[in-house]
Amino acid sequence: MEALKVGTRRSPLALRQVDEVLRHLSEFYPQISIEVIGIDTYGDMNKVTPISHIEGTDFFTREVEDALLTGRVDFAVHSAKDMPDKMRVGLCIAAVTRPIDNSDALVSKDGLKIEDLKNGARIGASSRRRKSQLKRYREDFQVVDIRGTIEERLGKMESEGLDAVIVASCAMMRLGSEERITQRMPGDILTPHPLQGALAIEVRQDDRRLRDMLGVLNDR
């Protein structure tokens, strides 16, 4: 089988996600050869715009999809929840993988669970969903918008004086930092995104061979 090229964001988490997909693919195609192409996306370079302002757009996928449409890469791997609401013409999803963990995780500075955080605690969060649910759980929380890689978000506990941050449990697991999770959030406090923890594998719509090949990873 000829070598294939997979496009992805360059962040440590995105590269771990690609490793996960390739590991599963090798179970079906032991001789497969794949080159990983890292791509800088607008979402990675723009760390100012709040996530809650761009949800449902191609903020984190645009440049990777450009590479796919022009043939620079053969397929792409994304966090499924980062996919835009509307697919670009000429592209389609070959597979959505089984999520490894769909919960949200609290990482707190002092190892306190969410119910034990002090009155007026400052909590970093990104999505509109997380922000609104945190405020609904406790109105006294000061919910602070955070952006960046998982490592950068965790670092804001020191740099911005946050008491805790909310991130995806699956991200901590994929980065080998699961031990830093203070608490996996109960669903009645933070209801997770329906695609959290799953990966989306995107291909050109007319590439039937690759669609069928990658479809072995589809869990939907």
Cβ–Cβ under 8 Å, residues 182 and 107: yes
Which CA distances in Å does 220 have to 54, 96, 198? 25, 6, 10
Which CA distances in Å does 10 have to 43, 60, 63? 11, 11, 12
All structural domains of the chain, each given as residue ranges with its CATH number in brackets, are 4-98+198-217 (3.40.190.10), 104-184 (3.40.190.10)
Look over the chain and give the mean of its residue pLDDT values, rounded to a whole number: 94
pLDDT recorded at residue 1 = 57
What's the pLDDT band for 80 if we cut at 50, 70, 90?
Answer: very high
Burial label, 147 (beta-carbon count in 10 A; 0-12, 13-18, 19+): middle
Kindly report the backbone phi and psi dihedral angles of residue 83, in degrees, each rounded to the nearest multiple of 5, phi listed first: -70, 140
- 214: which residues sit within 8 A by CB, 6+ positions away? 25, 75, 94, 95, 201, 203
Percentage of the chain modeled with pLDDT above 90: 87
The token pair that represents 152 in the structure block: 């950068």
Instruction: Report, in angstroms and rounded to the nearest whole number, the Rg of the chain calculated over CA atoms.
Output: 18
Q: How confident is the model over 157-192, as pLDDT tens digits? A: 999 999 999 999 999 999 999 999 999 999 999 999
Taking the whole predicted model, whether its pTM rises above 0.95 is answered as: no
pLDDT recorded at residue 44 = 86
